[in-house]
Chain A
Amino acid sequence: MEQNLQLQAKPVPKSVQIKQYIAIGLFILICCYSVITPIFGNIIPYDIMESIAPNIEIWKTYNIFNHFLYFLVYVIIWGILLTITSNKATKIAVILYIVSAVLELIFISLGLLHNGLWNVGLIATGIAYFYVFSTIIRANNLSNSDKAWLSIYLISMVMSIASLGRDILILNLADDTMGDLFEYIPGRMASIWGVIFSIIVCVASIRLVKCGAFSGNYDSTPTPKEVYSPLNKHFAALLITLVVVYGMWSILYSNIQTIENILN
């Protein structure tokens, strides 16, 4: 608690504050885009998208476009954050984030060749992002409230890894008769939840930029080695949640006909 008070006592320089506000503005911009798209549809019209890449399935073109847009904005944001980190561990985490973002874009492009690469690549980069946020949380003396908000990022990564894994494990194994039932899973309610969660993530991103990790007061004292270790409770949370969620899904999908008969 004393350390928190010390951190807050240091005034954030004016130049750092300006960078923080630019990063927050970009985060809000990307949040608005991710809220608008599921509600009002894609901003770029279907015809234009199809004319760019006529040989590729249209959802893939949209997906690559969105990923490219996110990539550009996130690299700018994290590039700004890189200049205002408060210690070495945070700096390394931010560099890892940017490297993962580049890798993600490469995997997405390779996904055009094979669907499997797409999902596997996203899972791998998802785990890298998870490590980044885990390191930022553990390497800084954050207030309880900041920690609670930053854990939203970890939760979001866990659930996206879980759903990508489901696509590989279950959807690829499912036979065609199940197809209709799965159609509804990424349906309207799931996208409404996506919108709600995007807003929560937007608040979390404001807290991320304003927290002690990006206050600009660079602390050159070496960070303890344990901070870099992935053997921590965040990774335990990732593994346990995956086990729990896959357990529930496998029970659910193996009894799919019985469950559907309840309503009919």
Chain B
Amino acid sequence: MKKILFAIYNLEKSIWGEEINPNKYLATATILFATCLGAYLAGGEYLNDLLNWHINTPTLTASLSMLTVLIGYNVTESIIATESPKVATWRALMMSGLVIAGFVVGIVVSVVILFIITAIITIFLLLTVLKVMLGVGDSDNRKFKLDNGDEVTEYSGLFGDKTYVGTLGKTYSTDDGGKTFSED
């Protein structure tokens, strides 16, 4: 957890070493927030389009405006936390890049995740409909051949209860898991 939280800080320290003294949390917080911002914007737009919902997402301009605020935080910190203008410039550019990257990742990931979830739900529903239409589902059920010539199919209920129906429409019951049947 700490490794992820301080990833940006450790990266900066490995590049510039003693030349830089930034806050450990602010950079990570801004990047993660930019990701959330992207996810909120794109995810909301995606659901609005897909389901005709009306999630009150911020406009693209508002999101970009917020993004500039986040970049502003990092630009200030870059200048305050470093001694040389060169390091400050490179750090500001790097952080701006990372904040924008976080925003883009948020957009892409939210849309991809929502797409995968909707795709899975759609495929699942389609398969269920197909199963019912083609009667494929019956093949999974156990079948028993009785001595009186009737063939019995086992159906499972919602709560694990079992019903046994013969080909002629008769129902049976069993107490020993299918070895002997008695007609109801």
Contact = CB atoms under 8 A, between A and B. Distances in A.
Contacts, number: 109
Interface string B23-47: 1111001000100110010000100
B154 interface: no
Contacts of A185: 58, 62, 65-66
Tell me the dominant secondary structure on chain A's binding face. helix
A154 B77 CA distance: 9
Nearest to B29: A196
Contacts of B65: 185, 249, 252
Contact of B69 (A196, A238, A245): A245
B26 A152 contact: yes
A39 to B, nearest CB: 16
Interface in B80-107: 80-81
Counting contact residues on chain B (CB < 8 A from A), the size range is 20 to 34
Given A155-B26, A184-B59, A262-B60, A193 B33 contact: yes
Counting contact residues on chain A (CB < 8 A from B), the size range is 35 or more
Contact of A155 (B45, B63, B73): B73
A203 B68 CA distance: 24
Given A185-B66, A200-B25, A155 B80 contact: yes
A189 B79 contact: no
Interface of B: 21-26, 29, 33, 36-37, 40, 45, 56, 58-66, 68-73, 75-77, 79-81
